[in-house]
Amino acid sequence: MRPALAALVDDDIAAAVFEASMASVVSLTAFRTEGREVVEEGVGSGVVWDRLGHIVSNYHCVARLAKDTTGQQATEVGITGAGGTMRYPARIVGLDPEKDLAVLRIDAPAADLLPVKVGTSGDLRVGQTVFAIGNPSGLSHTLTAGVVSGLNRAIPSPGGTLTGGAIQTDAAINSGSSGGALLDSSARLVGLSTATFTRRTQGARSSGVNFAIGVDVVRDRGVFLIGATGTVW
């Protein structure tokens, strides 16, 4: 547990949000297998969506897996519980590059899956406190805090277009955090941490100008992606 708190945050709220939500945030690890060698290619985050094993994350976290034709790419979801971290291979259920969303599925026992509490993003207000839980640089379950800095921002998507309705926050989001949860002070998911604004020459280091896909979008598109492949029925 590595909370990094901003000054304007009530300590007890931050701790309560973290305790309520950390189990719903998972790690994503992308691998490439070449013969005998297994190379770890990247780390991201995801959010447990339901007890069926659906995990919501960013498209760009699984873009390699999505485009892989050789079968060499794999993605593992790590769920950290009391007994340590259990790892499950993930398969893609649905992708939405325009919204930078991906839905994965793992076969984990329902008892180990603690779905995130879902909120709404349409009624967010600039200035309210938000918390990001993710795995920046592989530091599992890092909590950062900040405020909603702006609403309805347009950011570039992996699909090449501008995607609107993004939440802007100064809660630090770094590489590895994307796909993680952005929560309000009631520990409800209000967004999916997605990007930080940086100069092109630098790595994806948080500039304090960070973006999350609103949960209203995640809910609509996520459910659509789950249903579209008919895996449920």
Partner 1 sequence: MCICGGSTSPTACQGAAGDTMELFPASFKGLALIALMLASCSAGGSSAPAPMSAPQGQPAPAAARRALSDDPALDIFVQSLTHNQALDVGDPASALAPATTLAGIGAPEDTPCEAEGLICDRRQAALLFAAATLAQPTAQAAVTSLQLEAPLTLADVTPQVAPSQPLSAREQAVVALFERNTNSVVNIFDVTLGGGPRQTALVDAPEGNGTGFILDTSGHIVTNYHVLQSVLGRLPPRPASGTRAQAAKVALVTVLLGPGNDTQTFDGYLIGMDRAKDLCVLQIRPPQDVLRRLRPASLGTSADLRVGQAVNALGNPFGFDHTLTTGVISGLGREINSQLGGVIAGAIQTDAAINPGNSGGPLLDMAGRVIGVNTAIFTNSGTSAGLGFAIGVDTVRRVVPQLIASGRFVRASLGIQVANGAVARTLKVPRGAMVQSVAPGGAGERAGLLPPRRSFGGVLPGDVVTAVDRTVVAKPGDLANALEMYDVGDAVSLTVLRSAGESAQQELKLQAKLQADSA
Which residue among 24, 57, 96, 100 is the active-site one? Answer: 100
| CA angle 172–153–146, rounded 5-degree value | 25
Per-residue 3-state assignment (H helix, E strand, C coil) for 151-196: EEEEEECCCCCEEEEEEEECCCCCCCCCCCEEEECCCCEEEEEEEE
* Shortest Å, Cβ 77 to partner 1: 18
Contact of 132 with 171, CB cutoff 8 Å: yes
The neighbour count for residue 159, using CB atoms within 10 Å, is: 14
How far apart CA 74 and CA 169 sit, in angstroms, is 31
Which residue among 21, 27, 57, 60 is the active-site one? Answer: 60
How far apart CA 200 and CA 178 sit, in angstroms, is 18
State which residue, 33 or 224, has the beta carbon closest to partner 1. Answer: 224
The torsion angles phi and psi of 225, rounded to 5 degrees, stand at -65, -35
State which residue, 144 or 178, has the beta carbon closest to partner 1. Answer: 144
* Shortest Å, Cβ 211 to partner 1: 9
State which residue, 31 or 197, has the beta carbon closest to partner 1. Answer: 197
Which residue among 178, 184, 206, 216 is the active-site one? Answer: 178
* Shortest Å, Cβ 209 to partner 1: 5
Q: Which residues bind partner 1 (CB under 8 A)?
A: 6-10, 13, 49-50, 52, 54, 115-120, 125-129, 146-150, 153-154, 156, 162, 168, 170, 184-186, 188, 197-202, 205, 207-209, 219, 223-224, 226-228, 230, 232-233
* Shortest Å, Cβ 128 to partner 1: 5
State which residue, 43 or 124, has the beta carbon closest to partner 1. Answer: 124
Q: Does 60 participate in catalysis according to the annotation?
A: yes
Provide the β-strand partners of residue 183. Answer: 131, 189
The torsion angles phi and psi of 112, rounded to 5 degrees, stand at -90, -5
Q: Does 220 participate in catalysis according to the annotation?
A: no
Residues carrying an active site annotation? 60, 100, 178
